[in-house]
Amino acid sequence: MAQHDYLIDNQSGAGFRADLNAVLQAIQSNNSGSAEPSPHTEYQWWVNETNGLLTIRNSADSAWTTVGNPNDAFLGLAPFAYYRLNAAFAGTNVNTAQSLFGVGISLEANTVYEFEMLFALSKSAGTASHTIGLGFAGTAGITNIAYQLNGLHTTASFPSATAPDVFNFVQTASNTAQTLSLAFAAVNFRAKVEGTVSTNATAGTLIPQYTLSAAPGGAYSTQLGSFVKLRKIGASGANINVGGWA
């Protein structure tokens, strides 16, 4: 915490040095403090220690504009959190939920996020009839979620030209079947998912996962190049308005 009025008074050498050091400390700390710097001027930085946010004074010197959180990577302004598989991620031959990518991500409380996934699941053994479902687990409290899944399954290897056979709009984080019953040794399922999720007062993790309705006799693998990305949009509890919709 360091703030200064940015006026160097006429004074003795020791006092001048202390005053100058105080100015430099204010500059170095971006005028951090629990109260706004006084006086202030246009385009002045201030780290508000009450809410932990980095702000800047507007051009009219009439208000502070929030820039981001200095405790978050990229001030919390990174366009998205991104995870991509550089090698296939092996699943297991079970009928319980399992991670789609092997990772999850931490979500803040009372926040709305936009997410996108593109993934492919493949197996080459086991003919027990089963469906493939998509869901989301983790410790974050979810107020609501909605996503669209567009995908297809085929016994042919990638790539294959087949009309999409899945087009679902889902409003639950629980496992939701996305395919018809599959009873083939070779199955290749690929899907694109786009949606939003809103958290409540409980921050925590979000983990994309899939569930097979029965153990098929051979495990699926999430294929190389599959990815998931997530972007923070705004505070939850109301319609999100970015850009001044009216």
For every one of its 246 residues, what pLDDT tens digit does the chain have, with 9 covering 90 and above? Answer: 689 888 888 998 898 899 888 889 989 999 999 999 999 999 999 999 998 889 999 999 999 988 888 887 677 776 789 999 999 999 999 999 999 999 999 998 999 999 999 999 999 999 999 999 999 999 999 999 999 999 998 898 888 767 778 899 999 999 999 999 999 999 999 999 999 999 999 999 999 999 999 999 999 999 999 999 999 888 898 898 877 788
CATH 2.40.50 fits 79-235, yes or no: no
Instruction: List CB contacts of 18: < 8 A, sequence separation 6 or more.
Output: none
Instruction: List CB contacts of 117: < 8 A, sequence separation 6 or more.
Output: 100, 191, 192, 193, 208, 226, 227, 228, 229
How far apart are alpha carbons 110 and 120 in whole angstroms?
A: 31
**Residue among 225, 231, 227, 236 nearest 193 (CA):** 227
Domain assignments of the chain as residue spans, ordered by start: 13-75, 79-235
How far apart are alpha carbons 45 and 36 in whole angstroms?
A: 10
What's the token pair of residue 74? 């990229």
How far apart are alpha carbons 131 and 189 in whole angstroms?
A: 11
How much is the pTM?
0.74
What's the token pair of residue 158? 């990638």
How far apart are alpha carbons 225 and 246 in whole angstroms?
A: 40
